[in-house]
Amino acid sequence: MAEKESHIETSMEETKKYSPPEEFKKKANMNDPGIYKYAEENYEEFWAGHAENLEWYKKWDKVLDWENPPFAKWFVNGKINASYNCIDRHIKDGKGDKVALIWEGEPIDESTKYTFNELKEEVCKFANGLKELGVGKGDVVTFYLPMVPELAIGLLACARIGAPHSVVFGGFSPTALADRVHDSESKVLVTADGYYRRGKKLNMWENALESLESTPTVEKVVIVDRMGRKDLELDDSRDVYYHKLVAEQSTECEPEQMDAEDMLFLMYTSGTTGKPKGVLHTTGGYLTGTMTTFKWVFDIKDEDIYWCTADIGWITGHSYLVYGPLANGTTTIMFEGSPDYPDKDRFWKIVEKYKVTVLYTAPTAIRLFMKWGREYPDRCDLSTLRLLGSVGEPINPKAWEWYHKVIGDSRCPIVDTWWQTETGMILITPLPGITDLKPGSATRPFPGIQADIFDAGGSPLEPNQGGYLVLKRPWPSMLRTLYKNPERFKKTYWSEYGINIYFAGDGARKDEDGYFWVVGRIDDVLNVAGHRLSTMEMESALVDHPAVAEAAVVGRPDDLKGHVPVAYVILEGGRTGSDELAKELIGHVGKIIGPIGRPAGVYFSEDLPKTRSGKIMRRILKRLEAGEEPGDTSTLRNPEIVEELKNRVQ
């Protein structure tokens, strides 16, 4: 990881406290603050109690096996199927005709609803189709799709037959897709002919085809016909249209009895080195964790209409658009489009159209809505909303207040939820009806979760001292390892402070009330509009360009996106920087990583601040970008370069 600073700056600015109204407290289903004490003291029993809400083929012998840390096992020897628990269990409970999934297309007149009965049929047909293609238990299937219903259906179809899924966000490039397919050794890729983005029709098939050139493991490709394109040249031995594959399949498919510890999915996430990490989640613990947190954090009732605006290409979409809601039998909405198409009121039109009661979105979106102004939400009836959620990055108090007042009509509590791809489920969060809210703080650890702030040496810090966020006890939906890389798993998360302590990679402080204030990543990971990007990945993309000798990428604070990447580049001898070259480099990174990885700016420089051993001090560049003083430059080989860069940045 990046060089650790002994001290982390955290802002102490706090606004007023929000106490849940008594009325709300009474209605909340978990209105017993004693739950924290109970979960703390009866940790395993607490989680076992929740796991009991799922249907198991065989109960576990042991709740938690933590004898060989950091390799945890939850619900040891339990047998379960996630797809069954998200669908069939509710049908058995008489909810077959309840709407499970609402899909809203980007074109305003396109939408579909699936009841639990209908969802089961679709899932079984796709599951049988995958089997026909030779997919069996343990075979990883990669999805590279826009937000079409087939993606949610595909996850559940895979879970049904015990094939782990690996979803690659549709905005990633062919190279990024190929890397992920390659690492997971997928035999099947599910993709689409194209997708809509702000009214434009964009190609997807071409990207998939390009990646297939370097992914020899892929034997079969399933194509969702989203755009009705007629120009695809298919390889008949490899490619099949989704609708043709499922047309004749049976609507019944017996779920596989999976071990609680069998892999449910892989989710690749950016790490501190160039190579993305395959975060591995298993079945029983993941489902228990996401089901329980979803129910409690969003205080879910049977009649709720819940909308999570995240893409299923990220963990939020997995845990809180698909698995968490469906495990609870909740109606969940999936939206294909953008918040500003056809107009900037699209989100609010959706809330009005479906009478959404709980909305879960990201601070970056909230800041955008704030910029657009309240005219857009004010056009729509948002009176059905009763609870608002936030995830992905710290929410600044100003955006919190706006979300609370304008969207929530000062009525709806806000749950600011801290978690990660690796944690699988929400870990630091208010419980509506119990927790007093402080805008900007994710508040307290979920019952049973032990979080703390350590200094660089591993000692717990006093209130309000900035340090490193750690988790001191395993939790059911924790990642089990990094795919095919247990050593990297140990080194990344469990070696900073010992093999029992999870190192989250975030800087934070805890205040005098025990509330957590997360500042952001302290490693070489950038959080851009709630998306995690590795600066190392961008740097290797830059040096891949023939004009570039060396590069350093750091985050620049941005009002809307939280941070944006900027690149400092040293060119190969004799080359000079120009606007054209800057554009070319930005395009080059975009091509290798995908549009989300494009740097917002490029600086050309003769040199970069380096230690005597030649390591680039990114920390200094980061400070310059934040408009701060560079700090101690005495260990640099070339301190003079800092002044020069400072003049240029400001």
- Give the interface with ligand PRX as residue ranges (CB under 6 A): 269, 315-316, 391-394, 416-421, 442, 504-506, 518, 520-521, 527, 532
CA distance 436 to 443: 8
Tell me how far, at minimum, the Cβ of 61 lies from ligand PRX, in Å: 32
Q: Which CA distances in Å does 618 have to 34, 276, 535, 623, 633?
A: 46, 20, 10, 9, 12
Shortest Å, Cβ 520 to ligand PRX: 5
Given the complex with ligand PRX, which of 204 and 297 has the nearer CB atom? 297
| 70 prior amide bond cis, ω within 30 | yes
Fill in the amino acid letter for 467: G
Q: Which is nearer to ligand PRX, 135 or 315 (CB)?
A: 315
State which residue, 115 or 534, has the beta carbon closest to ligand PRX: 534
CB of 177 to ligand PRX, least distance (A): 18
| Closer residue to ligand PRX in complex, CB, 521/588 | 521
Nearer to ligand PRX, 152 or 526 (CB): 526
How near is the Cβ of 309 to ligand PRX at its closest, in Å?
12
Query: Across the beta sheet with 467-471, what order do the strands follow?
Result: 451-454, 467-471, 502-510, 516-521
What are the tokens at 647?
Answer: 């003049």
Instruction: Name 101's bridge partners.
Output: 114, 332
Closest CB 530 distance from ligand PRX, rounded Å: 6
Do the beta carbons of residue 287 and residue 337 sit within 8 Å?
Answer: no
Kindly tell me which of 49 and 397 has the beta carbon lying closer to ligand PRX. 397
| Residue whose C-alpha is closest to residue 175's, from 304, 56, 268 | 268
CB of 517 to ligand PRX, least distance (A): 9
CA 329 to chain centre: 22
Label residue 423 exposed, middle or buried (CB < 10 Å: 0-12, 13-18, 19+): buried
Smallest distance from the beta carbon of 446 to ligand PRX, in angstroms? 13
Name residue 28's amino acid: A
Nearer to ligand PRX, 242 or 314 (CB): 314
Beta strands in 362-399 (DSSP E): 387-391
Residue 184 or 269: which CB sits closer to ligand PRX?
269
The DSSP bridge partners found for residue 80 are: 258
In the complex, minimum distance from the CB of residue 176 to ligand PRX, in angstroms, rounded to a whole number: 15
Looking at beta carbons, which residue is closest to ligand PRX? Answer: 421
Residue 79's contacts (CB-CB under 8 Å, 6 or more residues apart) are 56, 57, 58, 257, 258, 259, 260
